[in-house]
Amino acid sequence: MGNYIKYSSTRGGDISLSYEEVLLAGLARDGGLFMPERWPSFSHSDLKNMKELSYASLATKILKPFIQPFLNEDDILNICKASYSPFGYEVAPLKQLKKNTYILELFHGPTLAFKDYAMQFLSRAFNLALEKKSKKAVILGATSGDTGSAALEAFKAKANIDIFILFPHGRVSKVQQKQMTWINEEGAHALSVKTDFDGCQAIVKDCFEDLNFKDQTSLSAINSINWVRLLPQVVYYFYSALRVGSPEKEVVFSVPTGNFGNILAGWMAKKMGLPISRLICGSNQNDILTRFFDSGIMKRKNVSPSYSPSMDIQVSSNFERLLYEINDRDTNLVKKQMYDFKVEGNFQVSQDKLNKINNLFSAFKINDIETIDIIKKTYLNHEYIIDPHSAIGFGAVQKAIGQKIISNNTPIISLACAHPAKFPEVIKKSIGITPKASTHLEKIMRQKENFKLIEPNLEDIQEYIKKTMRK
């Protein structure tokens, strides 16, 4: 079969699975997350040869080692072309705000958020895998805002897939909620759960750990706990870095993150040979990640609603993948730390391990007052409107420069993860202007909502899924 990449669980229960098995499983049966058993590596020469590739061709080059033999190169290219065709002429535009400082616009997909890059690819790969096996599946996910709309948009109207998205009741923006609840397709279900995002995510994980329920429903995941959801996000790191001088120049990326998936994709790009000198982690007032990078202690607190609701998270699920790596793939240690975190609400890593990751990562907290100010200053100084999540990433850049952690001499790319029109109230509060929505979004906002309001009860949600899924 060749020397193809296999995947194993961070907790040791599942080992040497194929791409296809990981795609359909989502979460490992032991509750862990899948990671590749080895990393492909691109040389300086490889990176130079990538500079002139289109986005779809670059994606094919980067994704191919992880996907073969499930798909051949032509199949991957065709999926990439179909996935990124709705994004317009330039899939991931770079906007230069000043010398060596760029905004990477990741909001040109169907739902105006960076989740579209992965979800459009995942839905096609998933559907193809099910068709090959003549199977059906139930997809279950939790969202703090953008994942849900991107998933429902990508997976709606698929004959062999039922999708259920849990979102925290009253804790996503009006636009984010409407992008989920206007969809009225058979097999597509939005559930408004009376809890916060971490509560929704916990229910999803409990459903996967209930192996009887998982097997009864052929359950799979589309959150970034699914390896294949995370993988396409690596591409835009390569794409943007190559356009600002890589591989000859090192690049800094700043990423607003709550669940640690998007910035982990940057870490993966570094592992694969992209010359990234620093990854800046921007947190809102729910700053569990910033506190960890400062102290080595991951400690859960109560979620505080903010102007950047997609980051209102105190359980950064994807961090387990980085933990697995810094623990030298010691699955027993990962399992213990994850158990401690679930039961006690905290775990700690040694100072040596913290120093190791802080050679690459820096983390900064940006509160709501600062977020409003960053949106205002960015508009006044650059005539550019950024959404509140993107403002946190850009504000983290300013703090990193102020503390001399990074230099203006290095290209700095700050990720803009959502269109400002998705958060009109916050933008108006900051600069007195309501950002213009697309015609498509305006149409969505006039549609009737379709969702189920439900209590945060595992048994009730499992029963609803079993009753509602198509047999």
Q: How far apart are CA 456 and CA 387, in angstroms?
A: 30
Stretch among 64-78, 145-159, 227-241 having the lowest mean pLDDT: 145-159
pLDDT at 191 (0 to 100): 97
Active centre residues (catalytic): 115
Q: How far apart are CA 337 and CA 321, in angstroms?
A: 12
pLDDT at 438 (0 to 100): 83
Residue 248: both structure tokens together: 């000859």
Q: Is 202 helix (H, G, I), strand (E, B) or coil?
A: helix
Residue 30: pLDDT above 90?
yes
pLDDT at 153 (0 to 100): 94
Please tell me the pTM assigned to this model.
0.93
- Cα–Cα distances in angstroms (integers) from residue 99 to residues 102, 248, 412, in the given order: 8, 17, 9
Residue 80: both structure tokens together: 């990439």
Confidence of residue 2 (pLDDT cuts 50, 70, 90): low
Confidence of residue 1 (pLDDT cuts 50, 70, 90): very low
Stretch among 100-104, 169-173, 430-434 having the lowest mean pLDDT: 169-173
335-364 burial string, b = 16+ CB within 10 Å, else e? bebbeebeeeeebebeeeebeebeeebbbb
Stretch among 295-304, 308-317, 448-457 having the lowest mean pLDDT: 308-317
Residue 417: pLDDT above 80?
yes
Q: Is 141 helix (H, G, I), strand (E, B) or coil?
A: strand
Residue 224: pLDDT above 80?
no
Element (H, E) at 297: strand 297-299
Domain boundaries, the chain: 85-109+230-431
pLDDT at 337 (0 to 100): 97
Answer yes or no: are the C-beta atoms of 188 and 157 closer than 8 Å: yes
Summarize the confidence of residues 178-196 as an average pLDDT.
95
pLDDT at 401 (0 to 100): 96
Q: What is the pLDDT of residues 268-308, one digit of tens each?
A: 999 999 999 999 999 999 999 999 999 999 999 999 999 99
**CATH number for the 85-109+230-431 domain, one of 3.40.50.10320, 3.40.50.300, 3.40.50.1100, 1.20.144.10?**
3.40.50.1100
